Amino acid sequence: MKNRKILGTTLIIIMIILAGLSIAMIASVSFPRGLKEYNSHYYFLKRQLMWLGLGSISFLFTANFNYKKYKQARGILYAVQFLFLIGVLVIGKEANGAKRWIKMGMFSIQPSEFAKLVIIIYLAGLIDFLKKKREKSLGILFMTMIPLMLYAFMILLEKSFSSTVQVTLIGLTMIFISGVKMEHFISVLLMLVTLGAGSILSMPYRLKRLLGHLENSDEVYQLKQSLIAIGSGKLLGKFYGNGLQKYFYLPEIHTDYIFSGYAEETGFIGSILLILLYVALLAVILITVIRIKDMYAKYLLIGILSMFSLQIIGNLSVVLGLVPSTGIPLPILSYGGSTTIVTMAALGIVYNIIRALYKQEIEEEMQ
């Protein structure tokens, strides 16, 4: 039993370490901006502590909620989330020409973040249902692409291109592993690539950002500062609290570019250790996927695995200049309410499935 429980224990330990690093790094990199904009050194730290507290509550709830019940509730969850996606377009707070947040009192929520987890729950249940009905490849593809594209289109209207891409790729990953025929899947993929290219060309700011990345123009100021932060960290870093980029050289250093601030203060060794921590997190989920026999659980886990993989690889690719700058937070580490709550809720689902895996293996031993 002790050997079996290593998966759940490892997951909890990784979460605690990442939460601790988040608190430490946001305390370090956000205080200049907090003092300037809100007259408080610890403005962002206090809010992140609150987000982590709410995230912990969401984790405890999903960790103790039987994951199989999501299958029956998937339609309701999908509909409620769709209403939120409509709501953000109608009453959402506009910033930089985009509507991505709904103001609720002192706080703002970002529905596109919650959409990632809801689409995973919905597609997992739908795919499981269609597979049990022995639906043909084209039927599965058609019936899963419609709800996926509906969400993607609504998020695109918010002018959140990165979230649109993430939701689409998460859904496509789940559809691909459902066993649809390769020729059907590739045809859909080519169509989506064409639509994506059209979306970039139709919006001047997206095209400008892409061309700026390719031409190394002034549009990549943030990238240059990110690379300076990472490079100046060298082997051991400038040590905690001694980073310079947080003094308004690197915007968004507490959110999408927190890895750059982290690398500046902890160096190459600290950066590698953080990456290994994320690799361990993904490994826990992957091992659970392999060992659990329930196909619905597998679909859920693959969706969550793809969500985290896209965020981790996407964020590192942005801060290293491998892809154009776009808003992709690092799970748990980056500042943010919606992303922290969704991340912790998703990890709670993983933990609940791990507990089901323990029961499965005990029953197999008793037979």
pLDDT of 19 = 97
pLDDT for residue 322: 86
Query: 31 pLDDT exceeds 70?
Result: yes
Q: What is the mean pLDDT of residues 333-343?
A: 95
> pLDDT tens for residues 114-128?
999 999 999 999 999
Residue 136 gets which letter from DSSP? -
Distance between CA atoms of 154 and 160, rounded to whole angstroms? 10
23-27, 56-60, 201-205, 279-283: lowest mean pLDDT where? 201-205
Work out how many domains the chain is built from and give that number.
Answer: 1
Residues in the chain: 367
What does the pLDDT look like over 280-302, one tens digit per residue?
999 999 999 999 999 999 999 99
In a domain, 367, yes or no: no
Q: Report the distance separating Cα 70 and Cα 168, nearest Å.
A: 21
Per-residue DSSP letters for 296-326?
HHHHHHHHHHHHHHHHHHHHHHHHTTSS---
Q: What's the confidence (pLDDT) of residue 177?
A: 93
Lowest mean pLDDT among 62-66, 70-74, 157-161, 303-307: 157-161
Per-residue confidence (pLDDT) for residue 206, from 0 to 100: 53
The residues that bridge with 93 in the sheet, in sequence order, are 101
Range of the domain at 254: 5-362
pLDDT of residue 196: 72
Q: What is the mean pLDDT of residues 203-232?
A: 69
Average pLDDT of span 199-203: 62
Read off the pLDDT band of 195 (50, 70, 90). Answer: confident
pLDDT, tens digit (0-9, with 9 covering 90-100), for 33-91: 999 999 998 999 999 999 999 999 999 999 999 999 999 999 999 999 999 999 998 88
| 278 neighbors 107 (Cβ within 8 angstroms) | no
The mean pLDDT of 201-216, rounded to a whole number, is 55
Within a domain: residue 326? yes
Let me know: does 48 contact 339? Beta carbons within 8 Å: no
Residue 325 has pLDDT above 70, yes or no: yes
Inside any domain, residue 130: yes
For residue 211, the model assigns a pLDDT of 55
Mean pLDDT on 94-98: 65
In the chain, which residue ranges form alpha helices assigned H by DSSP?
6-29, 31-38, 43-63, 69-91, 111-132, 137-157, 161-177, 182-202, 204-215, 221-232, 258-291, 295-319, 337-366
Q: Tell me the mean pLDDT in the region 240-254.
A: 90
Question: Which amino acid type is present at position 216?
Answer: N
The bridge status of strand 107-109 relative to strand 93-95 is: unpaired
